[in-house]
Amino acid sequence: MRKLLGGFYLGYSAIVFFILMVIVCPFIIISTSIFREKTGRKIAFYFLKFWAWSFSLFTFLWFSAKGKEIDTSQAYIYVGNHSSFLDAIAIVICIPQAFSPLGKIEMLNIPVFGWIYKRLVVMIDRSSRESRDQSVAELRKDLADGQSILIFPEGTMNKSDQPLNPFYDGAFRLAIETQTPILPFAILNSRDHLPRTNPLLLYPGMIRTVFGEAIEVKDLVAEDLEELKQKTFNAILGILEK
């Protein structure tokens, strides 16, 4: 019975998701087409916020954020865990400033969502060295323009029983190279509400995101990468285990 109800709820939520995407898609395409890149993305971000908040309202999946106060006047590299499809909604609602996320190129295949994804996400094909280099160059440019970025350092959605998978180096190498502080966060219970391995168990409720204290990287060099990566890993794991 639980899975049957969950199946109906999942279908309803998917319909809401795509209807709202269809509504905001023209506005995002227009804003990113007629305005300069940075301005267009900021305008599009407000429409993305509308989509996320509307999805939350109609599906009874609520999202809250707490933790350290974030100084939105500066750019950060947001780094957090990723264990559910609901994380995409959580970050849009909870991160208080526009940001450029790094995402997998495979997501372009999703109808409607892929059109928006193409305009707002820095895409990466991890199997291609050229794609990886180009993605890093785009992220570096965004940071130079004062735009925050988002990277899930686990590389893909965590399907294991562990709270965190090992981190890739990319986010931390970029932080050191650009001298941009890392802002760690943890999405605490999105996997409980929508398990990646069994989406029929979807149920409504509050998904919580907690932000940690910004990790400064001033004067760090390439040799400090492993220490910075471990410090960030420990910060996120500490939030998850509280």
pLDDT by residue (tens digit) across 202-234?
889 999 999 999 999 999 999 999 999 999 999
Q: What is the 3-state secondary structure (H, E, C) of 110-158?
A: CCCHHHHHHHHCEEECCCCHHHHHHHHHHHHHHHHCCCEEEECCCCCCC
Which of the pair, 173 or 6, is modelled with greater confidence?
173
Mean pLDDT of 130-155: 89
State residue 108's pLDDT score: 67
The tens digit of pLDDT for each residue in 15-33 reads 999 999 999 989 988 988 8
Average pLDDT, the chain: 89
The tens digit of pLDDT for each residue in 57-94 reads 999 999 999 998 899 999 999 999 999 999 999 999 99
Which of the pair, 73 or 119, is modelled with greater confidence?
73
Please report which confidence band the pLDDT of residue 148 belongs to, taking 50, 70 and 90 as the band edges. very high
Mean pLDDT of 139-161: 91
